[in-house]
Amino acid sequence: MKLEGIHHITAITGDAPRNVDFYTRVLGLRLAKKTVNQDDPTVYHLFYADEHGSAGADLTFFEYPGIARGHAGSGMVHRIVWRIASPEALAFWVARLRRDGVGLEHDADSLRFEDPEGLPLELQIAKTTDAPLVAAHPEIPADLALQGFDGVRAYSPDPDRSRHFFEDALGFAPAGDGHFEVKGEQRGSFYTLDRMATPGRPGAGTVHHVAWSSAIENHEAWRGRVIQGGGRPTPIVDRFYFRSIYFREPSGVLFEIATLGPGFTPTSHWSVSGSRSPCRRSSSTFARSWSGP
């Protein structure tokens, strides 16, 4: 029984129109769905992914209009890493982001930058046999596009605190210096803990939680494994598109284990007035202009 890498990552935005513009127009992801936070229906929930809304490429945002920027600290994810295929893809993204005025750093294998609210992002040339998870975009050739998550980096005051839980309860494979591989039969990703004891502040531009993929038939067993490892998971929650449990790993990062299915259906994919990138407007007007639940 193994987890199939990252299922989705959920972050926070204070400005949905700008968020949609950046992740669809600039990064070329598909706006797969707009709905609401099931635990707080006053909060909009944006889903970006590949063309099919696949687990492994699903970045979501809760929108709290006007919320102040936060910053990552101990017990928080501080960087999201996507896969790209080649040096040619890296060069493409360096040029594209510079044209859009995005500040960046890069070397031979990776490119680091922030979204408009300061969320740290990275594109990494990845050697993998996993299927690429790509969204169609008129300006981004498929072989140069983002191909799904490679992993996340988080902060911990003591990375070794989480090691036994990761290895014994969750089946993470240690790869040295706070780095773990999470690899199933179909897909994998990494999780890395970097040392930091300073607290962070949740807000716009921070990650709320990271979810790991489970086969539906193993979901209850994973809950038992978390309990046996000393975790305190929630009961199984039906999120309609998948089922979930939530718990904090020993370093404090909020984890979710989500099932691979039922998933989004074709009728769950929404657009805004037929466009990939809506014009900028107030969040309330923006929300009312959308169709869907």
Q: What is the mean pLDDT of residues 54-68?
A: 95
Q: Which two tokens stand for residue 115?
A: 């979204």
Q: Determine the pLDDT at residue 263.
A: 63
Domains and CATH numbers, the chain: 6-288 (3.10.180.10)
Quote the pLDDT of residue 278: 32
Q: Which long-range contacts (CB under 8 A, 24 or more apart) does 269-272 make?
A: 269/30, 269/32, 269/33, 269/53, 270/31, 270/33, 270/34, 271/31, 272/20, 272/31
The answer on pLDDT for 279 being more than 80 is: no
Least confident range of 44-58, 166-180, 269-283: 269-283
Question: What pLDDT is recorded for position 109?
Answer: 96
The 10s digit of each residue's pLDDT in 209-268 is: 999 999 999 999 999 999 999 999 999 998 777 899 999 999 999 999 999 976 655 333
| Residues in CB range of 265: below 8 A, 6 or more apart | none
What does the pLDDT look like over 26-55, one tens digit per residue? Answer: 999 999 877 755 656 667 889 999 999 999
Assign 282 a pLDDT band (cuts: 50, 70, 90): very low
Position 272 pLDDT exceeds 50: no
Q: What is the pTM of this model?
A: 0.88
